[in-house]
């Protein structure tokens, strides 16, 4: 009898501990739903449910909390019993009076077509489905059942990949923007709950769940972490899971501090973002600390491919080193993203992206302009070339000698053959450049030496007087038109996008 009473007391103590764990988890989750996830019970919420313990636990909590749920399930078609699991899940959700939507995707085919692993393909297909449904229903967010154990595995994956603060801080309770939407957040209300707590909750509620046998397959990268690496690390520190989650939390705080500095630098460096490219100021970027430079490159890459998961140290460092050691050129970074460096700006671009030409003077393809003196010709991308005749004074002569503007030229007006022609380069173009002792050089070589971006060379403006080139902006003037103290009349040519007015700047 004493033994039996002792057994009851022990059993009661265990039950009390379990209830305490469940109560604490529910209390934390309730607070997280409101403060960390910023969810509103009056607005629809798409919940991704696989049928496993995590998503069913979250379904039960959200349903009891009165949220307007749309339960969404993606059938990956990877297991023989997947269709039966979908039917059972449909029945369970329908019994709760909730809307159930599902879609079947052949993940093996999807992954092959998109050059992904099965693991990555399943993840990508699932989130695309969830966010499509969220957009169609005007949902406030997409919710998924990631837990604290998933957080540990994610941080370890990023660590092994060589990630910085952005990766080591792990997942967030609320992610916006995310890889699938700029305006629909992804929320993870169970991110602070351990798997043991979730299983205890389901047992207490009498809820059954589906078991995915593929979770034991160590051919999948995450499963190897879960079943091999983490148990091994526990041999060094039994509290390794808690240590990693605390580290991730600390790094999230430090990341927020760093992010403020990065955002301030972004205001200086980030020129514009267009369809398939990000444009940054080279000079502004080079003035930043190395850590900020890395973060800006990373931010640009992520803005082009938000879902990119293999962005490691080597890719970022390759770009940073290239920007420090080159004046112009291209560098392949990662996953089809190219860094294009030009004198004033650099771009990160996706494949087959057409970069903007507004920042460079460009003569329209196949066009030729007559430039009168005085006169003006306007190019289609907003640039203007103005011509001004001036009489020589000492002030003007000194301005000519000190000219540092590559888009302004001073020529001997008396040697000009009218009308001046403005065109793009043609094959065989040569020019006697000032300072070369009267020798001529190929225009193509001069453009390379002047570090003109390759993409703008073909339509670069060339000013022709009679049968010879008189001036090419950013290259120099023709030796035969140089200014000396003996000349009496000067032609000022000024190329601008700022519309300087009626008189040239001295």
In this prediction, residue 499 carries a pLDDT of 53
Q: How many domains does the chain fold into?
A: 3
Residues 174 and 78 both lie in one domain: yes
Task: Indicate whether 17 and 140 sit together in one domain.
Answer: yes
State mean pLDDT over 84-113: 92
Sorting pLDDT into bands at 50, 70 and 90, what band is 1?
very low
Say whether 378 sits in a helix, a strand or coil.
Answer: strand
- In the block, tokens 């329209």 appear at 364
Kindly state whether residues 343 and 382 are assigned to the same domain: no
| DSSP letters spanning 132-154 | HHHHHHT-S-EE----HHHHHHH
pLDDT of residue 414 exceeding 60: yes
Residue 30 has which token pair?
């309730």
Q: Say if residues 129 and 103 touch (Cβ distance below 8 Å).
A: yes
Q: Is residue 460 part of a domain?
A: yes
Confirm whether 434 is domain-assigned: yes
Quick one: average pLDDT of 276-295? 94
Residue 390 exposure: Cα atoms within 13 Å on the Cβ side = 25
479: Cα separation from own chain's centroid: 47
pTM above 0.75, yes or no: no
Query: Tell me, what's the pLDDT at 173?
Result: 95
| 40 part of a folded domain | yes
Least confident segment among 269-278, 433-442, 456-465: 433-442
Residue 8: the pLDDT is 40
Q: What is the CATH number for 340?
A: 3.30.465.60
130-158 pLDDT tens trace: 999 999 999 999 999 999 999 999 999 98
Residue 135 tokens, joined: 């957009």
Q: pLDDT digits over 417-457, tens only?
A: 988 999 999 999 999 988 877 788 999 999 988 888 888 89
Lowest-confidence pick of 224-228, 459-463, 501-505: 501-505
Domain-located, residue 412: yes
What is the pLDDT, as a whole number, of residue 380?
78
Domain encompassing residue 310:
269-349
Q: Do 47 and 148 share a domain, yes or no?
A: yes
**Domain identity same for 451 and 488:** yes
Q: Which of 60, 133, 134 is nearest to 98 (CA)?
A: 60
Residue 364 lies in a domain: no
> Do residues 320 and 173 both lie within one domain?
no
Give per-residue pLDDT as tens, 10-66: 444 445 566 666 656 666 777 899 899 999 999 999 999 999 999 999 999 999 999
Indicate whether 254 belongs to any domain.
no
């Amino acid at each position: 009898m004493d033994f039996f009473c002792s057994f009851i007391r022990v059993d009661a103590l265990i039950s009390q501990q379990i209830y305490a764990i469940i109560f604490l988890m529910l209390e934390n989750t309730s607070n997280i739903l409101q403060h960390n996830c910023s969810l509103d019970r009056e607005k629809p919420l798409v919940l991704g449910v696989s049928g496993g313990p995590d998503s069913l636990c979250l379904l039960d909590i959200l349903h009891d909390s009165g949220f307007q749920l749309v339960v969404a399930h993606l059938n990956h078609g990877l297991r023989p019993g997947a269709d039966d699991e979908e039917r059972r899940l449909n029945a369970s959700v329908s019994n709760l009076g909730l809307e159930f939507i599902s879609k079947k995707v052949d993940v093996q085919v999807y992954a092959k077509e998109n050059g992904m692993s099965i693991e990555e393909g399943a993840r990508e297909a699932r989130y695309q489905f969830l966010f499509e449904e969220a957009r169609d229903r005007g949902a406030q967010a997409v919710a998924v059942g990631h837990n604290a154990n998933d957080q540990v595995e994610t941080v370890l994956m990023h660590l092994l990949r060589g990630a910085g603060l952005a990766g080591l801080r792990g997942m967030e309770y609320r992610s916006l923007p995310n890889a699938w939407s700029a305006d629909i957040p992804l929320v993870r209300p169970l991110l602070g709950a351990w798997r043991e707590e979730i299983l205890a909750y389901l047992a207490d509620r009498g809820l059954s769940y589906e078991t995915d046998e593929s979770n034991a397959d160590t051919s999948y990268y995450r499963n190897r972490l879960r079943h091999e690496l983490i148990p091994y690390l526990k041999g060094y520190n039994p509290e390794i899971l808690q240590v990693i989650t605390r580290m991730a939390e600390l790094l999230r705080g430090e990341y927020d501090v760093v992010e403020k500095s990065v955002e301030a630098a972004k205001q200086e460096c980030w020129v514009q973002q267009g369809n398939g490219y990000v444009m940054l100021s080279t000079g502004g970027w080079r003035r930043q600390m190395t850590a900020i430079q890395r973060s800006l490159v990373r931010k640009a890459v992520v803005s082009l491919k938000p879902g990119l998961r293999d962005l490691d140290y080597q890719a970022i460092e390759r770009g940073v080193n290239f920007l420090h050691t080159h004046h112009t050129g291209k560098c392949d970074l990662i996953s089809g993203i190219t860094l294009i460096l030009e004198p004033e700006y650099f771009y990160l671009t996706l494949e087959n992206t057409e970069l903007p030409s507004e920042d460079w003077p460009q003569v329209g393809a196949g066009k030729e302009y007559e430039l009168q003196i005085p006169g003006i010709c306007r190019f289609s991308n907003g640039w203007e070339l103005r011509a001004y005749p001036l009489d020589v004074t000492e002030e003007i002569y000194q301005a000519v000698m000190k000219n540092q503007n590559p888009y302004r030229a001073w020529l001997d007006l008396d040697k000009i053959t009218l009308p001046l022609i403005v065109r793009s380069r043609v094959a065989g173009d040569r020019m006697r450049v000032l300072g070369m002792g009267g020798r001529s050089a190929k225009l193509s070589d001069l453009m390379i030496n002047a570090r003109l971006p390759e993409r703008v060379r073909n339509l670069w403006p060339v000013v022709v007087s009679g049968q010879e080139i008189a001036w090419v902006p950013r290259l120099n003037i023709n030796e035969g038109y140089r200014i000396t103290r003996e000349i009496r009349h000067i032609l000022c040519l000024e190329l601008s996008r700022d519309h300087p007015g009626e008189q040239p700047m001295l």
